[in-house]
Amino acid sequence: MTQPPLWPVLDDHGLHKVPLRFYWLLVLLLRPYICWVLVLTLPQAQRDMLALFYPRQTDFILACAVAAPLLLLIAALSQRKAKGYAGWRHIWRFGRGLMLTVATVDLLLTILHLPAQVMLDAPWRILSPVLLFIGCLWLLRSRTLRAVFAEWPEPDTSKSKS
């Protein structure tokens, strides 16, 4: 009895597994939407928490607009299975470039909107640009991610006969 190879790690459909770092990068890039949902769940008295991350309303709207294409990528990810809708394959194939574009624009906007004395006033705001830069490097260099975005499951043609 032979053991299956340890690398590459495949999912139930025989495709490369989506790395956990991919999901963490999605969370980082979708932070305006996550903040929005968190603010909506807070009591009315604490709703100004959004101003902590986005001091101006235009910053928040711009961040949401930049991250909006990733919502399509999440929809395509949800269909990456044998019984999923094959039309999402086209969006999935361009997902790496889409993520890289969003991450790069997000990185530039985040750096441009940092306060002048960020290290004195709010040093925690430096974390986001650093993580975005690391995410951009990973998107550029990851071989596994290239393989993940190149694959799409074949439609499930096996019908159970009754």
Residue 30 and residue 70: Cα distance in Å, rounded?
Answer: 8
Query: Tokens representing 81?
Result: 């299975």
pTM: 0.81
DSSP 40-95: HHS-GGGGGGHHHH-SSHHHHHHHHHHHTHHHHHHHHHHT-STTS-GGGHHHHHTH
Kindly report, residue by residue over 91-104, the tens digit of the pLDDT: 889 999 999 999 99
Domain ranges of the chain: 20-150
Query: For residues 84 and 56, is the Cβ–Cβ distance under 8 A?
Result: no
Look-up of token digits 């956990």: 20
Report yes or no: 131 and 106 within 8 Å, Cβ to Cβ.
no
Mind listing the pLDDT tens digit of every residue in the chain (162 residues)? 555 555 566 666 667 788 889 999 999 999 999 988 988 888 877 767 777 778 788 888 999 999 999 999 999 888 887 677 778 888 889 999 999 999 999 999 988 877 777 776 766 778 889 999 999 999 999 988 998 888 877 776 655 444
